[in-house]
Amino acid sequence: MKTVDISEKPPMHRTAVAEGRLSLNVETIIAINEGKVKKGDPFKIAECAALLAVKKTPDLIPHCHNIPISSICIEFSIVDAEIICTCTVKSYYSTGVEMEALVGVSVALLTVWDMVKYLEKNQDGQYPGTAITDIKVLKKLKEANL
C-alpha cells in the first residue's frame, strides 16, 4: 500500500466547502433556540469538535496527506426542522482539502446529534426522525495566486 505521490504537484491556494444536514424534531429545534439543551450550546461544542476533526483527518482516512491548514470556518443555520452545517477549509499545499471539509461537517453534525439525542429518542429509545443527510462538497477551488 502507498499514498499518491504529490511531490511533483505545485503548491496552490486550495479551498473546499462542504455541507450537511441534520433532521431533528421540532421540539428539539425549539430547545436549541431557547438555550435549553442540558449539555449546553450544541453549536459551540460542535464547532470545536469540527475544528479538531478537520485537523485530524489524516488520522481518520488512511490515504489523506497531512496538510497545513490555513483556515477553518464552521457555520450553522436552522431551516425548518433541520440543522445545516457548512465547513470551509483553506490550505496552501499540493493537494486538496475536500476530505477535511467533509470530515468537519460530519463530526459537527454528529456532535449536535450527541448533545440532543435525549430529546430525539422515542419511547423505545430509537431515533425514527433523526438523520444526517446530504453531506457533499459544495465547492472546490484551486488558485495559483490570490
Distance CA 98, CA 24 (A): 26
Strand partners, 15: 90, 141
Q: Which CATH number fits domain 12-143: 3.40.50.300, 3.30.2130.10, 3.40.50.720, 3.30.70.640?
A: 3.30.70.640
pTM of this prediction? 0.95
Q: pLDDT digits over 70-100, tens only? A: 999 999 999 999 999 999 999 999 998 999 9
Residue that the C-alpha cell 444536514 belongs to: 21
Active-site residue flag, 114 = yes
Note the pLDDT of residue 7.
86
The domain locations on the chain are 12-143
Q: Residues 5, 114, 124, 134: which is the catalytic one?
A: 114
Are the C-beta atoms of 95 and 6 separated by less than 8 Å? Answer: yes
Q: What secondary structure does DSSP assign to 39-87, as a single string?
A: T--HHHHHHHHHHHHHHTHHHHSTT-----EEEEEEEEEEETTEEEEEE
Q: pLDDT digits over 102-136, tens only? A: 999 999 999 999 999 999 999 999 999 999 999 99
